[in-house]
Amino acid sequence: MRAIVAHRYGGPEVLELSEVPRPELVADHVSVRVIAAGTNPVDSECRSGKAAAWFDGAPYIWGWDVSGIVESVGAEVTAFAPGDEVYGMPRFPALAAAYAEYMSAPASELAPKPSRVDHIEAAALPLCGLTALQVLDLAGVVRGQRVLVNGAAGGVGHLAVQLAKARGAEVVGVARSVNHDFLRGIGADGLIDYTTTKVTGAVSDVDVLVDCVGDDGLLAVMRSGGVMAPVPGAAGGPGRLEELAKEFDVRVIRHVVRPDKPGLVRLANLVDAGRLAVDIDRTLPLADAARAHELLTDRHGRGKIVLNVAAA
């Protein structure tokens, strides 16, 4: 099969299109013919070596977000059959090898693909969607609360806006004005352009802050007893934020996303009900994975970049 392989850590140039053996199928796994693989900033960070302690030696096939068709099932699998359309984020943070034409994944970490969308959109959803969903669950977001999403137009941010809104929260988004119409369209009640307006002077009494950027100063907008959830990659050093939060009587949640089949089902149900949509910036063929990683490193825009693995 074709796969994107890296034989060392480094820049996007280490990603090479190669021919490799298909992964072996074990008893509790399914073999998935990958139609599309989503990309995320964590893919780029891992490729560069920032999380080298997580992995054994090279070669590496990066990628976690996947949508595709079940090719075959292991002897212990009863939940899926060949031909089923599935999606997920298996094994994270262990290697899942989504940048490939075939993947072997635990059946317990995949779910039926949302029927309302194609594989491109489905592949963009799992990691960011589960991150937002799990953080909002841990924060206990309920109807009537005020939720502030810093970095609201990003991968996690735009999904957090919609998921918080679906719970009946009042949602305020922080993003550049170029993204305000988009964010209004997906349910944001209030918007702040951080390039022209001081956020701490524009909002107050926030119950839950989902911080996808990393701004400890936003503790000042929170009510006593509120919850701040820095998304990994945006958070400061362990301990520093917690000490600052004590001064504001704010609880800090540090959460790393985990595979979550029930969560994937919840996301798919919201998509199929028309209450959740993932924004796609662009699609690229598998062979252009290095270009996708260049864009992941350089971009400050919105939406997800997806590899169309099934494309020629």
- What confidence tens digit (pLDDT) does each residue in 33-88 have? 999 999 999 999 999 999 898 899 899 999 999 999 999 999 999 999 999 999 99
Task: Report d(CA 115, CA 279) in Å as an integer.
Answer: 17
DSSP H or E run through 174:
strand 170-174
Sequence spans of domains, the chain:
2-125+278-308, 128-252
Helix (H, G, I), strand (E, B) or coil at 81: coil
Mean pLDDT of 23-41: 97
CATH class of segment(s) 2-125+278-308: alpha beta
Among 106, 114, 115, 116, smallest CA distance to 73 is for 106
Task: Report d(CA 277, CA 189) in Å as an integer.
Answer: 17
The structure tokens listed for 262 are 């029930």
* Residue predicted with more confidence, 239 or 274: 274
List phi, psi (to 5°) of 218. Answer: -75, -5
The structure tokens listed for 224 are 């006593």
Q: Which of 8-22, 153-167, 238-252 has the lowest mean pLDDT?
A: 238-252
Share of the chain above pLDDT 90, in %: 91
* Residue predicted with more confidence, 238 or 264: 264
- Single-letter residue type at 204: S
Task: Report d(CA 238, CA 106) in Å as an integer.
Answer: 32
List phi, psi (to 5°) of 164. Answer: -65, -40
Helices 155-166 and 261-272 pack at an angle, to 10 degrees, of 70
First-to-last alpha carbon distance for the chain, in angstroms, is 13
pTM score, two decimals? 0.95
Q: What is the CATH number of domain 128-252?
A: 3.40.50.720
* pLDDT above 80 for 105: yes
